[in-house]
Amino acid sequence: MYYKFSGITQKLTGSGPAVAYNPQGLRPAVPAEPPAMVFGTPTRVLSEAGPAVDFMGVNKVPDLQRIFQTTDGVPVHLKRGYPDRLLYRTTMALTVGGALYCLVALYFAAQPNRK
C-alpha cells in the first residue's frame, strides 16, 4: 500500500502509486532562475555620486599599523598601553582563579559521603 501526506488532515492517508511517487507539495531541487548577482550592479564615478559620503569617523588603520609594527620589544597584545595590560591581567586572574576553583571542586567531589 502507498501513502501520502494529506495537507487537510495533516496525517498520512492511503493513495495510489502515481500520487505517492509524485507529491505535489515539493519544489524542484534546482531553482528555476539563477539568484541575482550581489556585485552585479554597475559602479558610479565619484563625480556622479553627488555629495561626498560622510563616514562614521576617521580612518584609524594607518595609526594602528604604525603602533603595532614598531619594534620596541613589547608583545603585540600589550602595545596599546594601560587598557591592554588591564585586560591581560584580568584575563589571567580569571583563568588562574577558574583553574583553582575546578581543582577545589574536584577535591570535594572525590571525598566520600559522610552519613
Domain locations in the chain? Answer: 1-26, 80-114
pTM reported for the whole predicted model: 0.44
CA 114 – CA 50 distance, rounded (Å): 81
Helices (H), 13-115: 17-21, 61-68, 82-110
Instruction: Give pLDDT tens digits for 42-88.
Output: 666 555 555 555 556 788 899 989 988 889 888 888 888 899 999 99
Averaged pLDDT score across all residues of the chain = 80
pLDDT for 86 equals 95
- Which residue, among 103, 73, 76, has the nearest Cα to 88 in the 3D structure? 76
Greatest Cα-to-Cα distance within the chain, rounded to the nearest angstrom? 85
- Which residue, among 6, 28, 30, 32, has the nearest Cα to 19 in the 3D structure? 6
Mean pLDDT across the stretch 87-100?
A: 97
